Amino acid sequence: KVGDTITITVTCTQKFDHNKHMIFDCLCTNQDGLKVIGGEAEVLAPTEKIKRARMAMPEITISDRDARYRRLFGRAQGLKPVTAAFVHPCDINSLQAALSVRDTGFMVPVLIGPEARLRAMIDQHKLKLGNTRIMNVPHSHAAAARAVELARNDEIEALVQGSLTTEELLREAIAPQGLRTARRLSHVLYIDVPTHPRPIIITDMMVNIEPTLPHKVDIVQNAIDFAHLMGVPEPKVAILAGLETVTPRMRATLDAAALCKMADRGQISGGILDGPLGFDNAVSLMSARTAGIRSAVAGHADVLLAPDLESGNMLAKQLEHLSDAISGGVVLGARVPIVLANRGDSVESRIASCVLALLVANQYRMRRLA
């Protein structure tokens, strides 16, 4: 399996001088000394010595995508499932995700949408509704309003976006009588890249389009709190920009410098901040040293703060689509966690986001009980 250390032993057991024919016994064992595979190899050796140029051997990559999802899902084992509103799940991916996350035991879904349309999809795709509740509303606007009302009345503990737009759902959430708190809403993406030694949190790729400095204070604090939840006691936050030096011509560098000083003064707590940093210097210690950057964050970042939504969105999607990364995301800063969906999200990715929402909702529960 992935992560095993194997030892291969080749022993010559027979040699025939008349035709240079040899038989080798081959044994492959793992780190526990257990046999993985074995067998015999027959070799006809050449009669003259042959020299060949060294060949460039291909690299072998083993995908452990399922194992990485299982590790993430394992964080939710033993937690009480949350009641979650799946808002207007009127496409097959959203509906399958709701029923799949129900089957995992992570959530108790409440489907909010046009009941006739939902039941027709369930029959068409031969899905099992079981005792999953449907709340009948006429359209997506009404579904968003109903879901927010349920959350405000503490009847549900999470919202999950279905086939309505992100704007439709968040408009209701941030309305004066919605789900606002003292903290600004922001999105965190938990992404596990197979070529990187640890998962990374990217923020904000889905909510704040052009965040100002005060907005970034809340965005960073939300990400730090989330990193604590994911088991990072003192997350290292890299504030990304196109340059590593501060210049008035690039606002992201000024914001980075201000955020770092605010962290020094205790206005942002729980993490270590550094910036401005380029992406390469944030995640690669070698790149940081080559650039002459030495800090606790450079090369070791746990959290990446993008300058704006565009750059954060492109960065996240490049990692997801070009590096076989797995990911899940959740919106923080509201009274309940909110899961937003991309059209191309797989069912596994949607379940991963629901697991993150469960972890956040469980933390909110603990705070209420404290």
Taking only the tens place, the pLDDT of each residue in 111-138 is 999 999 999 999 999 999 999 999 999 9
Which residues lie across from 201 on neighbouring strands? 190, 303
Phi/psi region, residue 141 (left: phi>0; alpha: psi -120 to 50; beta: rest), is alpha
What's the average model confidence in pLDDT over 321-339? 93
Q: What is the pLDDT of residue 370?
A: 66
Summarised one tens digit per residue, pLDDT across range 92-116 is 999 999 999 999 999 999 999 999 9
Q: Which CATH class is domain 76-181+344-370?
A: alpha beta
Whether the CB-CB separation of 188 and 230 falls below 8 Å is answered with no
> What superfamily does domain 184-333 belong to in CATH?
Isopropylmalate Dehydrogenase (3.40.718.10)
Stated pTM of the model:
0.83
Summarised one tens digit per residue, pLDDT across range 224-273 is 999 999 999 999 999 999 999 999 999 999 999 999 999 999 999 999 99
Summarised one tens digit per residue, pLDDT across range 153-206 is 999 999 999 999 999 999 999 998 899 999 999 999 999 998 888 999 999 999
- As a residue count, the chain comes to 370
φ and ψ at residue 196, rounded to 5 degrees: -115, 145
Whether the CB-CB separation of 332 and 186 falls below 8 Å is answered with yes
Mean pLDDT for all residues in the chain: 92
Would you place residue 28 in the very low, low, confident or very high pLDDT band (cuts 50, 70, 90)?
very high
Q: Among 154, 76, 73, which Cα is nearest to 359's?
A: 76
Which 3-state string (H, E, C) describes 100-148?
HHHHHCCEEEEEEECHHHHHHHHHHCCCCCCCCEEEECCCHHHHHHHHH
The residues spanned by each domain of the chain are: 7-44, 76-181+344-370, 184-333
Residues 6+ apart with CB under 8 A from 58: none
Summarised one tens digit per residue, pLDDT across range 76-94 is 989 999 999 999 999 999 9
